[in-house]
């Protein structure tokens, strides 16, 4: 098979060891070639413009421009880009955001050795790839009310262990408003208390600690 007929793959991850491992997996396939490795979102966009890869493997958590923002930028400029998101999150929220931004695949990093090559081939063939566990969670929460941006700010304060008074001061709102937000958050997340709400939010990908 000639170089021009190989499937071109761009790897985006801020950890050199992870990039090296993925590159080894991809490079071991006779019909795949790693055309570039990026460590952040800005570099990913620059390398995409340079190489026009068939598949981009995109980590979510990176310094500077994160994976979801990079995904949005690439898809805006190259609407037909086929991007597979790599993540340590198992929550439905990050997955939903990724697919809304145009991701074609979503793969947990624990599954790379067993699923990476298969996922690349499926996405290249035009299929979407969602792990069953993620798909179930997305379906389970499909009718849930979304937590608003302000509620996320309040929840972030709760996660830091701050009192309503401190959260109110930080956000320039009243304590009464904070209490109302917390009440709404507990209802939307079906949480028993503040700690439970934070645990659910982290598990589903609303919050990063």
User: Looking at the domain assignment, is residue 134 inside a domain?
Assistant: yes
Residue 68 sits at the vertex; the CA angle it makes with 79 and 59, to the nearest 5 degrees, is 105
Of 11-20, 36-45, 79-88, 109-118, least confident by mean pLDDT is 109-118
Report the CATH number that the domain containing residue 196 is assigned in CATH.
1.10.10.10
Q: What is the pLDDT of residues 19-77, one digit of tens each?
A: 999 999 999 999 999 999 999 999 999 999 999 999 999 998 888 888 999 999 999 99
Q: Within this chain, do residues 173 and 90 fall inside the same structural domain, yes or no?
A: no
User: Looking at the domain assignment, is residue 209 inside a domain?
Assistant: no
Q: Within this chain, do residues 52 and 129 fall inside the same structural domain, yes or no?
A: yes
Q: Within this chain, do residues 96 and 136 fall inside the same structural domain, yes or no?
A: yes
Conformational region of residue 109, where left means phi above 0, alpha means psi within -120 to 50, and beta covers everything else: alpha
User: Looking at the domain assignment, is residue 38 inside a domain?
Assistant: yes
Mean pLDDT of 119-148: 83
- The answer to whether residue 82 scores a pLDDT higher than 50 is yes
Q: Within this chain, do residues 77 and 107 fall inside the same structural domain, yes or no?
A: yes
Q: What is the pLDDT of residues 183-194, one digit of tens each?
A: 999 998 889 999
CA distance 118 to 113: 10
CA distance 151 to 184: 8
User: What is the largest distance, in Å, between two alpha-carbon atoms of the chain?
Assistant: 67
Q: Within this chain, do residues 102 and 164 fall inside the same structural domain, yes or no?
A: no
Assess contact for 85 and 106: CB atoms under 8 A: yes
User: Looking at the domain assignment, is residue 177 inside a domain?
Assistant: yes
Total domains present in the chain: 2
Q: Within this chain, do residues 156 and 107 fall inside the same structural domain, yes or no?
A: no
User: Which band of pLDDT confidence, cut at 50, 70 and 90, is reported for residue 2?
Assistant: very low
Q: Within this chain, do residues 168 and 117 fall inside the same structural domain, yes or no?
A: no
Domain around 158: 149-204
Report the CATH number that the domain containing residue 32 is assigned in CATH.
3.40.50.2300
Q: Within this chain, do residues 178 and 107 fall inside the same structural domain, yes or no?
A: no
| Residue 12: C-alpha distances to residues 87, 112, 145, 191, 198 (Å) | 11, 14, 32, 35, 29
Burial class (CB in 10 A: 0-12, 13-18, 19+), 145: exposed
Q: Within this chain, do residues 93 and 128 fall inside the same structural domain, yes or no?
A: yes
Q: Within this chain, do residues 99 and 170 fall inside the same structural domain, yes or no?
A: no
Q: What is the pLDDT of residues 92-102, one digit of tens each?
A: 788 888 888 99
Q: Within this chain, do residues 103 and 27 fall inside the same structural domain, yes or no?
A: yes
CA distance 83 to 86: 10
């Amino acid at each position: 098979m000639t170089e021009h007929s190989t499937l071109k793959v761009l790897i985006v991850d801020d950890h050199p060891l992870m990039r090296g491992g993925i590159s080894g997996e991809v490079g071991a396939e006779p019909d795949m070639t790693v055309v570039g490795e990026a460590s952040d979102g800005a570099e990913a966009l620059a390398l995409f413009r340079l190489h026009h890869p068939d598949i981009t493997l995109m980590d979510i958590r990176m310094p500077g421009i994160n994976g979801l923002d990079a995904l949005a930028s690439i898809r805006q400029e190259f609407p037909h880009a086929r991007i597979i998101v790599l993540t340590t999150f198992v929550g439905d929220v990050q997955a939903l955001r990724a697919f809304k931004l145009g991701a074609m695949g979503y793969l947990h990093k624990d599954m790379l050795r067993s699923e990476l090559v298969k996922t690349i081939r499926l996405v290249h063939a035009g299929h979407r790839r969602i792990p069953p566990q993620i798909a179930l969670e997305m379906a389970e929460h499909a009718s849930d009310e979304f937590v608003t941006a302000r509620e996320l700010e309040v929840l972030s304060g709760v996660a830091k262990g701050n009192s309503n008074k401190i959260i109110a001061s930080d956000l320039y709102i009243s304590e009464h408003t904070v209490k109302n937000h917390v009440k709404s958050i507990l209802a939307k997340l079906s949480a028993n208390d503040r700690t439970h709400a934070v645990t659910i939010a982290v598990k589903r990908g609303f919050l990063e600690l």
